[in-house]
Amino acid sequence: MSFGELEAWEIAETLADFHEESFGGKIKGRYQITRKLMKELTGRKFLRQDFLDQITEHLYDLNLTLIDLAGDTFIVIPTKILEGYRKLTTGMVKSFIEKGHMEDDDNGTRKEV
């Protein structure tokens, strides 16, 4: 099912088209795509990070975000959904650290105590 190697913008537009398609019991909306299917869609044996970054950038222009779940799955979701999430404040993080829930280990890495 490979189409040959497509450009990042072509993949982004295709992923955006899938967002508008009716499937999985939904009229349109966010969806998952496996790494294997993404390789087939792109016509590539390997999905290099720089290429995924280009797809993500083009999707952002289409108001969509590509999330790599660092496993076998990608998520395509409207950017506005992500921008609406609650944001932690600096004060909240500092308060958590000051309460002694976190400390630096010998390597300077934060760890829970």
42, 33 contact by CB (below 8 A)? no
3 state SS of 65: strand
3 state SS of 15: helix
pTM of the model: 0.75
Per-residue pLDDT of the chain (113 residues; tens, 9 = 90+): 445 688 999 999 999 999 999 888 888 899 999 999 999 999 999 999 999 999 999 999 999 999 999 889 999 999 999 988 899 999 999 988 888 765 666 666 666 55
Integer Cα distance of 34 and 22 in angstroms? 18
Q: Domain extents for the chain?
A: 8-83
Is residue 14 exposed (0-12), middle (13-18) or buried (19+ Cβ within 10 Å)? middle
Integer Cα distance of 5 and 25 in angstroms? 31
